A and B are shown apart, each in its own frame.
Chain A
């Protein structure tokens, strides 16, 4: 079985947010509640200003704190892929997983909108649990509430699935899912597939022949917040630079 992981090259990423947009279209996300996002940070004042950015999907941890804290096992690690998923049929909406996630990549559906206008009001859903009816959505046959795939219903938590509905269709034993390879293009996660500068790579971390393993080894891939012990399966290449995420304190003006 594959252990799917992602490598993001920060030296190549332009912060264009194509990944964010593709993820939102693929997974019917609300604006501002992006499973995949590019976070922007600024330090200083014009004209002495430094802007940096960090693409941030779910880290798909090997030892995920969100799974440990879920009282109903609604959040679980899929055995076949190693992907962390949410069973919407079991989620009680306690939000403990959101509290416990060090990376802030979980979203609850029944909150005030993060950004205006409220698209939920513009595209109202039908029925008690369907909050909105997105004008863009994946084909219904891909939707699987037991894995948190589809239009997120009311009162449950959702998160990035590594496009589980796509990667599980990939040929058995393949080392990497690459948009440049016609044989694996359709099975590549949306954020990886649309990355114009090719800053994202997706492959099997358990396969020594995979491109992701080569990149991590040769370019010194690092993981975020190692101190939490969550062991993310998303690696960042920073060209040997310093840690990439500015803390809240480092942003403070002196």
Chain B
């Protein structure tokens, strides 16, 4: 008889697993989402710890960008098979596309609760054509990306075998464009030196790809009950060979870019960059860059651990957390130096700690993403068999 622990027990074992995945996620959505929506309905956005004093974008925006960039990265990883024709990535192509849509749903749900008039954005953005704004492009691109991703998944979800889909070409281009534009949203802000710079879109691209590989690693192992030996031969070969090496190389790039920006920011005397002093004086930075980036890098560099399932899952989870910390510190840090708020901001740097409602949105986003993914895997055949 199939059970949750019997992942090799065939179809019914997997079905039970994804059903449980869906139900647990649904519970998280109900509890976390219910609390967040109740708080927003009663208190409005005063339920967030963002204020007019200077921190305008809080944890919900961090969450949205995190989910969005993970989604675009996953599509780009799927494109390695669909567009570049690298056969080795075929076993994870469908999983990546499914995760991309699930992550996007989680992020967009959080964004809709953060914006005051999200539905207005759907018509006011395309009708007013403010082409100078990175957000204008981001909204349009994300809209097109969502529709196309849904079409691609709809076409592929019931197909027994994965075949190259030409629609992934435009989808991957959209994913690339969204990632770079998302970086430009911050990189173009000359008045905020912490954010400003042409390298930011590239940083976002690297983070997007490394995050996508981390999610691919964790969810591929999850699909096999965290048993590396239960993967198919071709999937195991991918994870022990090209994917693990690519993951290691991207973690190294991410580390260099992050550490490089931290060092230059720390040494600079320019007004606005003093926030790096603040960030480097707290534990979060070292957890993000040290524990969550260096440790996975070492694990992926050493041949013995690179091909070890436990080390891969650990690396994936650490990178997922590390990227979240990096995104949080980047978005919040860029706003902590007060801009002319004068008498109402007495401190050198504006303090910010997410409220309970904002943390609940984290639960909601994770819950929705997993719920969508779990349901697709359970009922729609949205999981790779490999």
Q: Which residues of A contact B (CB under 8 A)?
A: 32-33, 37-41, 54, 56, 65, 68-74, 90-96, 98-105, 107-108, 110-115, 131, 154-156, 225, 227-229, 245, 247-249, 251-252
Contacts and interface: CB of A to CB of B under 8 A. Distances in A.
A229 B269 CA distance: 21
Contact of A104 (B46, B130, B136, B340): B340
Contact of B191 (A100, A248, A251): A100
B286 to A, nearest CB: 24
Interface string B303-342: 0000000000000000000000000000000010111111
B271 A72 contact: no
B116 A155 contact: yes
A211 to B, nearest CB: 26
Given A112-B51, A248-B338, A228 B191 contact: yes
B42 interface: no
A191 B233 CA distance: 75
Contacts of B274: 248-249
Interface string B253-293: 00000000000000001010010000000000000000000
A50 B386 CA distance: 71
A132 to B, nearest CB: 12
Given A39-B343, A104-B339, A111-B50, A72 B56 contact: no
Contacts of A251: 348
Contacts of B341: 39, 104
Contact of A71 (B48, B118, B133, B335): B133
25 contacts: A39-B342, A65-B190, A68-B130, A71-B130, A71-B133, A72-B124, A92-B120, A92-B124, A92-B125, A93-B115, A93-B117, A95-B56, A95-B57, A100-B191, A104-B54, A104-B339, A110-B45, A111-B48, A112-B49, A114-B51, A154-B44, A154-B116, A155-B116, A156-B117, A251-B348
Given A99-B335, A248-B337, A94 B135 contact: yes
B159 interface: no
B53 interface: yes
B269 A108 contact: no
Given A99-B56, A111-B46, A249-B274, A90 B116 contact: no
Given A69-B135, A72-B124, A95-B57, 19 more contacts: A56-B342, A70-B135, A71-B130, A71-B133, A92-B120, A94-B135, A104-B339, A105-B340, A108-B52, A110-B46, A111-B52, A112-B46, A112-B51, A114-B51, A131-B44, A229-B190, A247-B271, A248-B271, A249-B269
Interface string B36-68: 000000001110111111101100000000000
A69 B133 contact: yes
Nearest to A250: B271
A111 B53 CA distance: 10
A9 to B, nearest CB: 19
Given A71-B135, A96-B135, A39 B130 contact: no
Most buried by A among B44, B117, B271, B348: B117
Interface string B226-243: 000000000000000000
Contacts of B189: 99-100
B134 interface: yes
A153 to B, nearest CB: 10
A248 B346 CA distance: 10
B187 to A, nearest CB: 12
A60 B191 CA distance: 16
Contacts of A249: 269, 271, 274
Contact of A110 (B49, B116, B121, B128): B116
A245 B340 CA distance: 9
A108 to B, nearest CB: 6
A102 B190 CA distance: 9
A111 B51 contact: yes
B139 interface: yes
Most buried by B among A38, A131, A155, A248: A248
Nearest to B345: A104
A38 B342 CA distance: 8
B192 interface: yes
A38 B344 CA distance: 10
A70 to B, nearest CB: 6
A196 B190 CA distance: 37
A121 to B, nearest CB: 10
A92 B118 contact: yes
B116 A71 contact: no
B116 A114 contact: no
A123 B342 CA distance: 27
Contact of A91 (B56, B117, B138): B117
Contacts of A248: 271, 274, 337-338, 348-349
A251 B190 CA distance: 22
Which interface residue of A38, A54, A69, A252 has the most chain B CB atoms within 10 A? A69
A248 B340 CA distance: 10
Contacts of A225: 191
